A and B are shown apart, each in its own frame.
Chain A
Amino acid sequence: MNVAVLVKWVPEPQGTPTLGTDHLLVREGADGALDPGDEYGLERALQLVERDGGEVTIVSMGPEIAVAAVQRGLAMGAARAVLITDPALRGSDTLVTARVLAAAIRRLGPIDLVVAAVESTDGYTGTLPITLAELLELPSVTFATSFDVIDGAELQAERQTASGSEALACPLPALVTSTTGVAAPRYPSLKGVMAAKSKPVDRPSLTELGLVADEIRSTQSVTGVGTAPEKAGGRVIEAGPDAAAEIADLLEEARVI
């Protein structure tokens, strides 16, 4: 079974990233890493191929520094990686990104499963995986809290809904987006880190991917960025005879009870 796992380099979640005048992230000197949200799906994919055989290929689009994220994935145990880097792709919208990734995945040959995180922890658009599934003409299961492959032919997944959970199945090949529940990511061993250095990382150009200028022209752009309003301070209810009733009123008001 061959699995493609999408990963993304994101600026360090705890840092304070700076945005340029074009509203895009200033990447020079920024600390970054493999999106922590990607590690869960990657871990699950690794578990599946360790059990059933096959390979995990990491697929990523990003700036030069994204090599670090790809290396981390390889250190965790992926067999190889594809990383697409091109200045023309800076600031791409999700449709263009999906086209690039779709081209890269098609180029890999037969893939049974594509795994992605529900959304990235920097952009949070959350629309990329579905767009990609559409371009690849794959069935997709989103928000999986667990997933498995049965006999190399069927994807079974559970997803959490507001009122409970659903169990879904669909034939492979398919695309699944994973939440943090699917597996506990492994910590790469130092041996793994060293071995990652000699694993193949394919760096195809846009021409090699067969993409023409029209296809990589973004139609969306960010036109403004604002700061979120400060959260109002909480209210302290002092212990007293009326405290319980007061809290109950508040909860009712908030429609919690």
Chain B
Amino acid sequence: MALLFAAIAAAGVLAWRRAAPRVATLRAARPDDPEWAGAGGDRVRRELVEVVGQRKLFQRLVPGLMHAAIFWGFVVLLPTIVEAAVAIVDPHGHLPLIGDTTWFAWIVDVFAIGVLAGVTVAVWIRKVQRPDRFRGSHLEEADRILLMITAIVVSLLLWQATRVALGLVHVEGPITGWLADSIDGVSRGTLEVAERVLVWLHLLLVLGFLVYLPGSKHLHIVTAAPNVWLAKGAPSGHLTPLRIDLEGPEEEMRFGAGVATDLTRKQTLDLFSCTECGRCQDVCPAWTTGKPLSPKLLIMGLRDHVAAAPAGELELQPLVPNAVTDEVVWDCVTCGACVRECPVDIEHVDTIVDLRRHLVMAESRFPSEAGTLLRGVEGPGENPWSQPASARMDWATGLDVRVLGPGDPAPEVLFWVGCAGAFDERAREATRSTVRLLQAAGVDVAVLGARESCTGDPVRRMGHEFLFQTLAERNVSTLNEAGVTTIVASCAHCFNTLANEYPDYGGRYDVVHHSELLAKLVREGRLHPSRTSVAVTYHDACYLGRHNDRYDAPRDVLGAVAGEVEEMPRTRERSFCCGAGGARFWMEEGGDARINETRYAEAVRTGAEVVATACPFCLVMLDDAANAAGAGPEVADVATLLARSALTDGSGEAT
């Protein structure tokens, strides 16, 4: 008994000593802003689905089954630890209710075998299959953990077998029963010694595991559940605002994450939760096209940096370039694929944007090409194309579009054109098509014209939160004064910002994407497309799909103008970015391959004759790739395709 307490106490002290620095780091982290900490109701659901149900792990079947077997086994076998402690004190002792019952004996056996099978598959994946996602992970550590799990489970089974053989328990599971039979001939004395040795061995292994845990990647078994709980959840396209008051005292201002103590609790817990599984790395458009950014290595880099700093010195070293390089921070397209994939709900994008915020607002350090974006948006025309505001309606030449003047009655639907839709030559075609379709369907639509500014999406994702805030406040006041209630946006980025981010600045509108409105008009019979048999594939925009779960409307539109949509291998919530997001549109691209060309090639392989998009940035990126390829399927917005098919009014539009 004394020995047992001594062992447990010693393990407790050792484990605490290993855990203490992490706890201290978490306590030093900035508390998350309660105002934006996410919706509570969703949390219970996420715990059930993602932690208990292992949903994200099942996105890959075999590794999912493997992990679920180990995880569920671990949970179910927890009471046996207590049973072992009880048996150490009294060999005849049992847990109340479940101890010495046939059903629990069976459960223990079945789940123990499950764990062993899981470990076998894990070893096979790691040693034989060797998927690329583990590149850069600590593989020896995983080996040690797998070995420890095996030892714990095997010692459990053997101990149970000796108990059965000695008659200390009166029930048996299939495996322990079989093991007990096979040691039948061993003398009672030997068995008694073996039983004592095994129960101690089992308990000591468990305690050893506990001690090992805090400093290892396996800490996720403790942090995963709280990390999932604290995740901000859907819509993932919403960034947490940083209120910036230029008149306030400078010391009170936070410009994002410059040093480790600038990270929020959740951001810090993210670091301690990463299992190094590499699922995020596998889907990252930056990493898979040969750039230095891997979301996994980013998290590991930050974690190692935080772990290496002695307590109290966390704030001394800048995170960039010590923990991660500048290049890594700027490579991200904020596509959210990593976040969607991560089994423990690590939110890489928010951390990356916070790092950028510090670089841009405190240090003015960013790829120089991106300066044109900031200057353009900050300039009088308030758009990344540095065009004068007076050119905002140039796309509408020849069309009769109502421009909402101050004091005019609010339209049924306000069409938010967006800067790309207004200034980019190719995107303008989609803008014109959208307006013509809405007018043909009899929708009362108007635009803001020169009074529209950039929504601020690109500057926000580049890290210039202040500039974003200025634009958001201005646009919200314009929209509110105009009495706008419903907005249709043809840009996925404008859509996301208007729908998810403007409410933080007092702008609450019913925001729909043009594909949704167009699909509805077709469904209601207000537009009459004629179907052709052209083969078409659809590229999901990150900020429409993954970040906002809108997948069907664009496909419905396509279904009405063409036949079946040929899906690309990476589609819907696992779509692959076009390369434009996160202000990458304005930056030069390094690495082995271009993201847009990689995606276009994937589209070409479906055999489609048309690659449909529903965002002007996707359109331009993929069209650039098509031009670079020289030949291949045409890239067109769903609105353009619908206009070709549904507008036969002889309007003279070259479509």
* Closest chain B CB from A135 CB (angstroms): 34
* Closest chain B CB from A49 CB (angstroms): 17
Residues of A78-115 contacting chain B, CB below 8 A: none
* Closest chain B CB from A17 CB (angstroms): 12
Question: Which residues of A are found within 8 Å of B404, using beta-carbon distances?
Answer: none
Inter-chain contact A193/B246, CB cutoff 8 Å: yes
Inter-chain contact A189/B388, CB cutoff 8 Å: no
Interface size on B, residues (CB 8 A): 23
Interface centre among B362, B363, B364, B388 (most CB of A within 10 A): B364
Instruction: Given A187-B371, A190-B244, A193-B246, decide whether A15 and B388 contact each other with a Cβ distance below 8 A.
Output: yes
Question: Which residues of A are found within 8 Å of B379, using beta-carbon distances?
Answer: 12, 14, 33
Inter-chain contact B381/A189, CB cutoff 8 Å: no
Q: Mark B370-387, 1 if CB is under 8 A from A, else 0.
A: 010011000111000011
Inter-chain contact B374/A187, CB cutoff 8 Å: yes
Task: Report how far A242 CA is from B379 CA in the complex, Å.
Answer: 47
Residues of B312-363 contacting chain A, CB below 8 A: 360-363
Chain A's closest residue to B368 (CB) is A184
Question: Which residues of B are found within 8 Å of A189, using beta-carbon distances?
Answer: 360-364
Task: Report how far A186 CA is from B371 CA in the complex, Å.
Answer: 9
Query: Is B255 engaged at the interface, CB distance under 8 Å to the other chain?
Result: yes
Query: Is A63 engaged at the interface, CB distance under 8 Å to the other chain?
Result: no
Inter-chain contact A191/B380, CB cutoff 8 Å: no
Residues of A176-220 contacting chain B, CB below 8 A: 184, 186-195
Question: Which residues of A are found within 8 Å of B363, using beta-carbon distances?
Answer: 189, 191
Interface size on A, residues (CB 8 A): 16
* Closest chain B CB from A181 CB (angstroms): 15
Instruction: Given A12-B380, A14-B380, A14-B381, decide whether A191 and B361 contact each other with a Cβ distance below 8 A.
Output: yes
Query: Is B466 engaged at the interface, CB distance under 8 Å to the other chain?
Result: yes
Inter-chain contact B362/A190, CB cutoff 8 Å: yes
Query: Is B250 engaged at the interface, CB distance under 8 Å to the other chain?
Result: yes
Question: Which residues of A are found within 8 Å of B361, using beta-carbon distances?
Answer: 189-191
Residues of A19-41 contacting chain B, CB below 8 A: 31, 33
Task: Report how far A14 CA is from B360 CA in the complex, Å.
Answer: 26
Task: Report how far A192 CA is from B250 CA in the complex, Å.
Answer: 11
Question: Which residues of A are found within 8 Å of B246, using beta-carbon distances?
Answer: 190, 193-194
Task: Report how far A187 CA is from B362 CA in the complex, Å.
Answer: 11
Task: Report how far A187 CA is from B99 CA in the complex, Å.
Answer: 70
Inter-chain contact B375/A187, CB cutoff 8 Å: yes
Task: Report how far A101 CA is from B599 CA in the complex, Å.
Answer: 58
Chain A's closest residue to B464 (CB) is A190
Task: Report how far A184 CA is from B244 CA in the complex, Å.
Answer: 28
Question: Which residues of A are found within 8 Å of B250, using beta-carbon distances?
Answer: 191, 194-195
Residues of A134-187 contacting chain B, CB below 8 A: 184, 186-187
Q: Mark B406-443, 1 if CB is under 8 A from A, else 0.
A: 00000000000000000000000000000000000000
Inter-chain contact A190/B255, CB cutoff 8 Å: yes
Task: Report how far A188 CA is from B244 CA in the complex, Å.
Answer: 16
Task: Report how far A233 CA is from B379 CA in the complex, Å.
Answer: 30
Inter-chain contact B380/A188, CB cutoff 8 Å: no
Q: Can you list 28 A-B contacts (CB < 8 A)?
A: A12-B379, A12-B380, A14-B380, A14-B381, A14-B387, A14-B388, A15-B380, A15-B388, A33-B379, A187-B364, A187-B366, A187-B371, A188-B364, A189-B360, A189-B361, A189-B362, A189-B363, A190-B246, A190-B360, A190-B361, A190-B464, A190-B466, A191-B361, A192-B364, A193-B246, A194-B246, A194-B253, A195-B250
**Interface of A with B (CB < 8 Å)?**
12, 14-15, 31, 33, 184, 186-195
- 9 A-B pairs with the lowest CB-CB distances in the bound complex, closest first: A189-B364, A190-B361, A14-B388, A12-B380, A31-B380, A191-B362, A187-B371, A190-B466, A187-B364
Query: Other than the known A33-B379, A190-B246, A194-B253, what 7 A-B pairs have Cβ atoms closer than 8 Å?
Result: A14-B380, A15-B380, A184-B368, A190-B464, A190-B466, A191-B363, A194-B250
